[in-house]
Amino acid sequence: MQFGILKDQIVIVTVCDDHYVVLLAALIRSIVINHTGNERIILYIVEDGLAPDNKQKIQGLTDPEKTQINWLSMTDALPPGIQLPLDHSSYPLNIYARLFIPYFLPAGLEKALYLDVDMLVLHDVSILWQLDISNFYLAAVPDPRIKTVDNAWGGIKNYRDFGLQPQTPYFNTGLLLINLSKWREDDIANRIIALIQANKASANYPDQYGLNVVLANRWLALDPLWNCFASEDMEDPYIIHFISRKPIYKTYNNNPRYYQLFYSYLEKTPWQNSKPLGEGRRYLKKITNIFHKIRSSVFGKAK
C-alpha cells in the first residue's frame, strides 16, 4: 500500500478506536500547533472502528497544505493471516499495530514516529525527528515507574530466561522513533509476536514486554521530557502521556495542570464541549476489549 513518499516530511503513526476519538483530536491539534519547522506532517491513523462522521471531523483539524492524513483499518495494518496473542487482559488487540508499522508504510521511508493516542505534544516534533537512530532499532524513553527489567511490579518476570541482566533498562512503548529498515531486515515484528505467544503468563504489558525483551540494549534512550507521564509534575514537558485514567474520565486522578492543558487543546476541535465520561463507560470499554479477544479465540481471527 503506497501513499507517496515525500521529502522534508515527518511521519507520525497512531492508533485509535471510536471510544478514544476525543484523545485523537487533542493529540493532532497539539502536534500541529506546536510544529514550527518547515517539514510537512504525514499522519497515518490506524482506525479500529472509527465512525465515518468522526473521521470527517478529524480530517478537518489540519491544513492540507501542511498536514496529510492517511487512514488505515486494522485489517490494512496487519499482515494477512497474522495470529495475535490472545491473553485475558483488557488491553485492546490494536496495541499490536505498532509492531507492523515498518510493513504498512511506504518502503522508501527510513523512520517513523509512533505516538500513543493518549498523548499531548507540547514541543516541536521536528527536533525529535532529526535524531540519528541509524545504529538502533528505535529510540524511546525509559519507563519512569519500571526503569529496569527486574522491577517486581511491572518488569520482565522471566528476564533470566532470556539471559538479561537485572539492571537492563526498560522503555515505555507509548513513544517509539522507529528505524524502519533495521526492523524489517531482522523481522522484529514476528519475533516479538512469537515471543509473546510463548510467554503469555509473564507478559504483563504484552507489546511492551515483547519489545523490551527482543530489543534489550539495542535502543536509544531519549530525554524523559519526550514521554512525561501525567502522574508526574515536570515543569515543561515535551510530551505528556496520560497513562492510567485518561482526562476523558471523571475519575482522572493525575496532574491537574496537565488535565487543564488537555482541555485547552480540545477546545480547538469539534469536541470542545465534550464532558468527562463516568466509570460505567470506562468499564464498558474494558469489557468490550475482553469480549473481542474471546470472540477472536473462538473464531480464530485476532483482528
62 occurs within a structural domain? yes
2 occurs within a structural domain? no
* pTM reported for the whole predicted model: 0.93
182 occurs within a structural domain? yes
One-letter identity of residue 291:
F
176 occurs within a structural domain? yes
Q: Give the ranges where the chain is alpha helix by DSSP (H).
A: 21-34, 52-59, 74-77, 101-104, 125-129, 180-185, 188-198, 206-214, 256-266, 279-299
**What is the structure's pLDDT at 3?**
40
Cell reading at 120: 499531548
List, as one string, the DSSP characters of 69-103.
EEEEEHHHHSPTT------SSS--GGGGGGGGHHH
CATH of the domain at 128: 3.90.550.10
d(CA 178, CA 31): 18
1 occurs within a structural domain? no
- Quote the domain boundaries for residue 273: 9-299
Dihedral angle sign, alpha carbons of residues 14, 20, 24, 26: negative
Model pLDDT for residues 108-154, shown as the tens digit of each residue: 899 999 999 999 999 999 999 999 999 999 999 999 999 999 999 99
**What is the structure's pLDDT at 92?**
81
231 occurs within a structural domain? yes
Residue 151 CB contacts under 8 Å (≥ 6 apart), including other chains = 145, 170
**What is the structure's pLDDT at 59?**
96
Number of structural domains found in the chain: 1
Neighbouring-strand partners of residue 17: 48
Model pLDDT for residues 178-227, shown as the tens digit of each residue: 999 999 999 999 999 999 999 999 999 999 999 999 999 999 999 999 99
**91: confidence class by pLDDT, cuts 50, 70, 90:** confident
CA dihedral (300, 199, 211, 136) in degrees, to 10, reads -120
4 occurs within a structural domain? no
**264: confidence class by pLDDT, cuts 50, 70, 90:** very high
129 occurs within a structural domain? yes
Answer whether residue 157 shows pLDDT above 60. yes
Q: Are 144 and 193 in contact (CB under 8 A)?
A: no
Pairing label, strands 228-229, 239-241: parallel
- Residue 298's CB: how many other CB atoms inside 10 A? 9
